[in-house]
Structure 1
Amino acid sequence: MRLGRLNVVLNRGKLVSLLIPLIILLQPRSSFTWYNSVFIASFFIAFYLFVVFVNRNSFRLNNTFFGFVLMLSFSFFVGYRFQGSSLLALLCFFSIPLLTTEEKKCALSILTKILAVIIAVSLSFWLLHFFGKAGMVAYRQLDLSIIGNVGYLDDYFFFVDNPTLIFPRFYSIYEEPGALAVLLSLVIIANNFNFKKKPVLVLLFGLIFTYSLAGYMIMTVCFTISKVKSAGKFLKILVGTIVFLVLFYILFKDVEVFQYLIFNRIFGFDEYGLNHRTTSDLNNFYSSYISSVHSLSGMGVGYAGHTFAGGSGYKMFMIDYGWMGLISLLSIYISIGWNCGKQAFVLFVGILLAFLPQGGAFITWQIYKVKP
């Protein structure tokens, strides 16, 4: 386009391929954008949508349209309050059919490389601090009340840490190790578990040190599904996975960090598992709510977070969006990846598994993981 005497040439493909990784990396709140995360992420999402939509002369709706209409209706018109992030997410759904295969491949490559650099740098300093006795000093504290939690994170610039944890977990620069683990596992799946690529291998190391049960389960289940090509191979992989898990348990059952963060959460579901992610008040409300007529349309966007003191997981989503919201969301993902092959199906399974502990299936950075 011409701006006065200055000719500004924007290559749509390159710009979109850069904006998508940037949007994904900005979605989990990071230490660098802690107090302005929503504004910054929203700005780049809006810019991305502008670039995508203004470069198209026509827009053809497909079978995802019906899912959009349902989600739109139950997200806004039946909602507890209007939430702009939901509108941006819907528009991002609309943008997916407009992306070219080359743009998506390039975006995934850039995302993987940038994320690998972040993990490599932050993990190196984290390991030096906790195991190399480097004795680094935090230069500031990040208030957790901004995300509905109590306490603070110590910010060491290259990584953050929660000083109240009994055992240190790898946060990198993000708000929560579980959210980081989900992001890492989905990017690894999108790369088809190609650990011959050094960036993908770096992501795997980062995932291991999050000590996230959700991340481990997503990787194990999706890796198993991705390698299944016949009933015989399925049995071999199943037996191999069981043997691996048994050996893993035998080797690490006496290691306190795995005992506390992994095994206790597997064998003590009520105390350490999904119910532990929400308050007792929310759990009591959910028990009666989920079988009531109100659960059909949900209580409205933001109701759970506004009414109850924090939490995460599928219950938060179900209270806000209800059964119709869940059905609408599933219809969108299914329609996007219907004819996209096995890899898209594996990604879909990963998103569903992440939905249980995180409840974040309707957020922008997960949308791009299903490749149409």
Structure 2
Amino acid sequence: MSKLPLSGIRVLDLTSVIMGPYATQMLAEYGADVIKLEPPEGDIMRGMGPHREPGMGPVFLNLNRGKRSLCLDLKSPDAPDVIRKAIASSDVFITNMRRKALEKLGLDWNTLRACNDKLIYVFLSGFGEAGPDAGRPAYDDLIQGMIALPDLVSRANGCAPQYLPLNLADKTMGLFAAQTVLAALMQQRMHGGAGQYIEIPMLETMASFVLSDHLGASTFEPPIGPPGNPRLLSPYRRPYRTRDGWLSSIVYTDRHWESFLQLVGAGDLWESDPRFRSMTSRTQHIDEVYAFVDQHMATRTTEEWIEALNAADIPAARAMGIDELVGEMERPERGVVHRYQDAEGNWYRGLRPTARWSDSQPQAGGVAPRLGEHTGDILKELGIG
């Protein structure tokens, strides 16, 4: 097999919680040597249980595979020498520490680029450093609230505002960060060897992510209506209740609608009812047309609908519970969830990279590192006793 795409790239990773570790795990899967720089107490996510072994909780295990852990007290007298030598041998430095703390510790851009003028310095901030919230801490729940996700859930479901039950902002930001690192490495290698400073603000990035769906009629100047995507905000955009369970399906295109109306014995509506005839009209009457589907889904079982809808080339699948999802993704033909062991023979479930490469396939690393597990090896590589 060819070398992994980022073989030979070293990333000094001073991130914690979810956003940064999610990004750097992807870089590790691509073959980068990711050195996770941790304080003596370790990444806070080590403590989020349940635990079989202290400091090795499931979220930490699933975000830090394939990395090496360097435990270092950044306030110690020896820390600056270690950092200088680590930076000199690194291609990328990525951090989500707050700017004032970085400056106090001598880990700011101006200080580190003096050690390596080719360094790509990636700063993951909560808020744009030029904005009114600069320097404030940010977490997933806070950002979800500020980018209107609880409001959108409330508008769609007629309930109190609620956060989405996953770390959507953190994980999405991790994807943005990994993409940015890859683009910066390509730019550097194709157009010159200079390093650069890159800031990725969480609020502004996630606001753009949400508004690409929901800027809506305020896209136009002057606005021709309120922001929001009517289809996404319909209370009927949800799994449909069947006679014996729940079905995920989307009747979307003109062809889908013509076929669905035939399936439910209402084919004449395709010609006689203008609400169904075009995407524009269906969007204007989205609650009514989705309610029409909802009403008919209750007349058959889930499997009957899956067979009928798939035969008509209308996307449909059984809506799964989270337990079912784990089992489904563990099937060999899916290959997402797999089992692996640590050096002591303990078994774990983990997640594989899902892209399929014909050559140089990215790899899930071994078990996430124990705190400071590789400190001695890394210091030796840096020429430090």
TM-score by length of 1: 0.20
- In terms of fraction of residues, the more helix-rich structure is 1
Q: Which has the higher strand share?
A: 2
